[in-house]
Chain A
Amino acid sequence: MTSILPLKLSNIWFRSREGIPLIKELSLELDAGTRTIIIGPNGAGKSLLLRLCHGLLRPTEGHIKWQNNTIAQHAQAMVFQRPVMLRRSARANIDYALSLHNVAKAERADIIEEVLQRTGMTRQADAPARVLSFGEQQRLAIARAWALKPQILFLDEPTASLDPSASHQIEELIQAIFDQGTKIVMTTHDLGQARRLADEVLFLHRGRLLEQAPAETFFETPHNDLAQAFVKGELLWWKRGEGPRRDPKHAR
């Protein structure tokens, strides 16, 4: 299969219906073979950026291009913060996703068994997906995405509402998917999780990409002063146009 990566974003702007810029002048490149973690305070535009990359939203300005202008819909998958399960069994939820990707019926059963086993969901396979616990639903969402064998997997704060044990299980699954060659792009608020998982970090603040760096560099010697404050765990105050940490480019 032809690689869809790298993904290039050039001078992306995304405005709300009221014209308020939510993503500003953002350019970046996402290469294969790394786990990219997007961090930043609330309202930084992390989830928006994932949705733009995944194609759920169209940028107001700028271009998003996959390698060789490939149509990449079937080579990518996304796991949301709150998984949406269809009103059918866990197994049928995965089967449905495979049917949308035109996977032959004869092949689906094996794929489903494999991902259910890998995610530890075999026992819940025939249970209605909506009666599963939140952690199980998130594992099922990952299994559903995994079954599609994506080249790139977007995860929007997949452990945001989970306890440490369930978060650990999800992190292990993300690592396993990455080990099979899938590019990981994930947002998180959890700096510890970012340290554990990241090969590369994108730091967003108020819709701008302020830093893109290898994880080690970012956590040891972040270049941007807001990123330094964020890594230290300081609160980032939104005093637009005031103080030494103001974003000089901020303009509507």
Chain B
Amino acid sequence: MGDMTAALSTAVELIVSLDPHLAEIVGLSLYVSLTAVIISTLIGVPLGAAVSMLRFPGRKSAIIALNALMGLPPVVVGLVVYLALSRSGPLGVFGLLYTPTAMIIAQIILVTPIIAALSRQVITDLWSEYDDQLTSLGSSHSRAIPTLIFDGRFSLLTAVLAGFGRATAEVGAVMMVGGNIDHVTRVMTTAIALEVSKGDLALALALGIILLSISLAIGAAAQIFKDRSELRNSS
């Protein structure tokens, strides 16, 4: 118990003093996760909407695949990206292994199916409400997609948040393709795992508190934004 208290007080001290090492890890974590989530959103939302609205051979299989890929095991993704980016791999020539870019790629693969699958459901639900009206106004299914994305923006925000949650909490894949190199690819989750194995509970705890705080802060900010916007539009 005494160790825990000491660790906690050191953790708070590190946070309050804006420890540069800690700040570097937090900064890199946010850079990697936010970049991955932004790119995944740009891919996943239109992809989910297209699977929801367009009729094509294999659509049902695509829906099943999207839903199944939501539960992709991070270590498997890490392994596949590792093999692809390693020197002997097909993308080895780019020299991306053990860089933040490799970590972003791994997170995009993990997060995109989550955003796409949740977006598909949001768009499908919205279309059941809008179908007759938009068809009556002369909209085709493909032309309705941007309208549905715009009108479903608040619900889609939840899908993006789910993706962000996955990205910030992920450790297996980024550890494999990033290598957890100090000052290069060390992010909060990999640092926590390392510090715990070293027995430095204070830094691990500080990182844990920050990780939790960031998740809560972003979730709360998004919810407040969503509530206010919905109130304005009374949706």
Contacts and interface: CB of A to CB of B under 8 A. Distances in A.
Interface in A124-166: 128, 130-131, 144, 148
Given A87-B151, A87-B233, A87-B235, A100 B132 contact: no
B235 A130 contact: yes
Interface in B196-235: 232-235
Interface stretch (A73-81, A112-120, A207-215): A73-81
B137 A100 contact: yes
A74 B233 CA distance: 29
B17 interface: no
A144 B137 CA distance: 9
Interface in B106-156: 129-130, 132-133, 135-139, 143, 147, 150-151
Given A80-B132, A80-B133, A84-B129, A101 B138 contact: yes
B151 to A, nearest CB: 5
Contacts of A78: 132, 136
Nearest to B229: A87
Nearest to B126: A87
A86 B234 contact: no
Most buried by B among A56, A80, A100, A148: A100
A84 B234 contact: no
Interface residues of B, number: 17
Most buried by A among B135, B137, B139, B233: B137
B132 to A, nearest CB: 6
A54 B234 contact: no
B139 A84 contact: no
A47 B230 CA distance: 32
Contact of A128 (B132, B137, B143, B233): B233
Nearest to B129: A84
Interface of A: 51, 54, 56, 73-74, 77-78, 80, 83-84, 86-88, 96-97, 100-101, 128, 130-131, 144, 148
25 contacts: A51-B132, A54-B136, A56-B132, A56-B135, A73-B138, A74-B138, A80-B132, A80-B136, A84-B129, A84-B130, A84-B132, A84-B133, A86-B130, A86-B147, A86-B151, A88-B233, A96-B137, A96-B147, A100-B137, A100-B138, A100-B139, A100-B143, A128-B232, A128-B234, A130-B234
